[in-house]
Amino acid sequence: MTFNDIFKSSFLENVTAVSLTDMAISLALSFCLGLFIFFVYKKTYAGVMFSQAFGGSLIAMTMITTMVILAVTSNVVLSLGMVGALSIVRFRTAIKEPMDIAFLFWAIAGGIVLAAGMIPLAIVGSVIIGLILIVFCNRKSAQKPFIAVIACDGGEAEESVAKYLKENTEKASVKSKSAQKGSIELTYEVMLKNGDTDFITRLSEMNGVSSAVLVSYNGDYMG
């Protein structure tokens, strides 16, 4: 073994495995693709509170995936080591919205396809997916659903509430009912007439009604 062999490093040999041109093009395209995914996510988001951090993570996820796949495709041995290294990664953050999983998978798949050199597939496929999501996931309902939570003190008051809601809303259906001695709590799904929310104020002033709360929701009722 010579002196040069001691300082010879395969690490330095991998410096030029991926050209600067390929790096720049791939990362620039992945950034643009991630930005497109972010805007589609923001446009179609239907949850309660929009998370700017999650939207930004979609851009980062696309670019990181592209960077990893570029490294993997440049070295077969590295690809085997990468599989083992990534297998120890565990994600503990809960995904609250089902569509968030689709956007995460979209960002990862976009980064993989870009790094594999299939640029037309990544661009055309993402545009088609984005248009489909905008058309089908961003449709505003003509009648926005609401949840009305009403506390009353007996059966007569319950009947009065049901009659009042039938007359003052487009639709009112019972979702849950909780009864205790001297009190009843009702949960209704209601559709408003002409967007009028003043009916809940008048309802709270009715005899036998102790409280009335109106809450907007996205239609994903659990119960």
Burial 116-136 (b: 16+ CB within 10 A, else e): beeeeebbebbeebbeebeee
Q: Residue 28 in contact with residue 66, Cβ under 8 Å?
A: no
Give this prediction's pTM. 0.63
| pLDDT at residue 7 tops 50 | no
Task: Read off the pLDDT of each residue in 83-107 and give the average, rounded to a whole number.
Answer: 72
What Å distances lie between residue 99 and 24, 33, 103, 112, 124, CA to CA?
31, 18, 6, 20, 21
The encoded tokens of residue 87 equal 């297998």
Sequence-separated (6 or more) residues with CB below 8 Å from residue 38? 55, 56, 58, 59
What is 145-216's CATH number, 3.40.630.10, 3.30.70.260, 3.40.50.300, 3.90.1300.10? 3.30.70.260
Domain regions of the chain by residue span: 3-137, 145-216
Predicted confidence band at 143 (pLDDT cuts at 50, 70, 90)? low
Summarised one tens digit per residue, pLDDT across range 149-178 is 999 888 888 888 888 888 888 888 888 888
Q: Which residues pair with 211 in a beta bridge?
A: 151
Q: How far apart are CA 159 and CA 188, in angstroms?
A: 13
